Amino acid sequence: MSAQETMVELAEAMITIVEEKDPEKVSVSDIITAAKKNRKTFYYHFMDKNHLIAWIFRNDLALQLRNNFDEDQLVYETRTNDPCSALPYYVFVKRGVRSLDGSEFFKSLATAFETHRNFYARVLRNRASNCLFDYLFDLYLPAMKKDISFTLGNRHLSEEGMDFLAEFYTGAFLAFFSRRLKSRNTERPLLEGMGAFSNLIHESLENQIKEQQLKRML
C-alpha cells in the first residue's frame, strides 16, 4: 500500500469518527483502531491528530485546485518532509497589470469544505491550541500579504500597514467560511448570494490601496 493510500485511510477514519464524536475527544487510538492501522504507522505520517486534520483539508483543497487551475497558477509552500507541503493551497491569477482574481480560488475552497461539510463544521468550532482555524490563518496570512505586495506595485506601504491588511482580510474570509459552515442550514451553499461579489476580497484590497494613494496616505 502506498503512503498516499495509507494517509487517505487514516483520513477517512477520522472523518467517520467525527460524525459521531466531538473532534476534541478523538484520540489517536480511536483513529488507528477505526483505520485498522498501528500507532507506528500513524506517527510515520502525522505528528498528531491536528496534523491529520490539516492534511485532510489540504488534500481536499488540492484536488479542487488541480482540477480548476493550470499548474503554473498553483501556489505551494516550501517543500519539506511534511506531506502537506507537496499539496497546492492557493493560486495566483492575474486579472490586470496590478489586479488579482481570487474568485475561482474561493469557489474551490468552498467546494473543498462542502466535500466533508459536517466534518469541517465540527473541527472549526474548536479554538484550542493548534486548531484548524489557527492553522488556516497561519497558512493564508503570508499568501495574502504577497497579494497585497503585488497589488501595491511600486507604491509604498509600511510593513505595519501591510501586516494589518493581511490580517484583516485573512481573518475576514476565514470567519465567513467558518460561520457559514456552522450554519444549521446544511443545504445552503457556502457561497450563496456571492453573485457580483465573487472577487470581493481582492477588489476591496485594490480599491483601498487606490483610495489611500489618492489621499497620499500610502
**SS3 letters for 66-129?**
HHHCCHHHEECCCCCCCHHHHCCCEECCECCCCCECCHHHHHHHHHHHHHCHHHHHHHCCCCCC
What domain range is 39 assigned to?
A: 3-214
Cα atoms in the Cβ-side hemisphere of radius 13 Å centred on 17: 23
Those residues with Cβ within 8 angstroms of residue 175's Cβ, 6 or more apart along the chain or in another chain: none
* Per-residue pLDDT at 132: 97
The Cα 149–Cα 98 span in angstroms is 10
* Per-residue pLDDT at 69: 98
The Cα 109–Cα 180 span in angstroms is 13
Predicted confidence (pLDDT) per residue in 32-86, tens digit? 999 999 999 999 999 999 999 999 999 999 999 999 999 999 999 999 999 999 9
Predicted confidence (pLDDT) per residue in 99-124, tens digit? 999 999 999 999 999 999 999 999 99
For 93-128, letters b (16+ CB in 10 Å) and e give beeeeeebbbbbbbbbbbbbbbbbeebbbbbbbbee
Confidence category of residue 154, pLDDT binned at 50, 70, 90: confident
* Per-residue pLDDT at 112: 98
- 8 Å CB contact between 190 and 114: yes
Of the candidates 25, 56, 176, 49, the one whose C-alpha atom is nearest the C-alpha of residue 119 is: 56
Whole-model pTM: value is 0.94
Give the cell for residue 36. 485498522
Helix, strand and coil content of the chain, in percent to the nearest 5, comes to 65, 5, 30
Instruction: Provide the 10 A C-beta neighbour count for residue 54.
Output: 23
DSSP reduced 3-state for 157: coil
Predicted confidence (pLDDT) per residue in 159-194, tens digit? 999 999 999 999 999 999 999 998 877 788 999 999
The CATH number of the domain holding residue 195 is 1.10.357.10
For the four alpha carbons of 73, 77, 81 and 84, in that order, the dihedral sign comes to: negative
The number of domains in the chain is: 1
The Cα 188–Cα 181 span in angstroms is 9
